[in-house]
Amino acid sequence: MRRLFSGGHRAGFSMIEIIVVIAIATILMGVVSVTLRRGREEQAVRREAQLLTLDIRKAQALAASSAEIQGVVPFGYGVVVSDDPGGGANTQTTLFADLDNDMTYSETAGEFVDSRTFRSEVRAQNAQIFECSMPLCDLGSPPSTITNADTLTFFFCPPNPNTFLYDETTGIGSRGSNCKTAGSTVLPAVRISLVRGAASRTVLVNAVGAVFIEE
Using one digit for the tens of pLDDT, what is the confidence trace for 164-196? Answer: 888 877 777 777 777 776 554 456 788 888 888
Cα dihedral value 84, 55, 200, 88, nearest 10: 20
CA 176 to chain centre: 25
CA distance 15 to 153: 65
Cα–Cα distance, 38 to 139 (Å, whole number): 27
How does residue 63 score in pLDDT terms, banded at 50, 70 and 90?
Answer: very high
Given a cut of 90, whether residue 159 has pLDDT beyond it is: no
- Residue 123: phi and psi, rounded to 5, are -125, 145
Mean pLDDT of 191-215: 83
Across the chain, mean pLDDT equals 78
Answer whether 79's CB lies under 8 Å from 95's CB.
yes
Cβ 123 vs Cβ 83: under 8 Å? yes
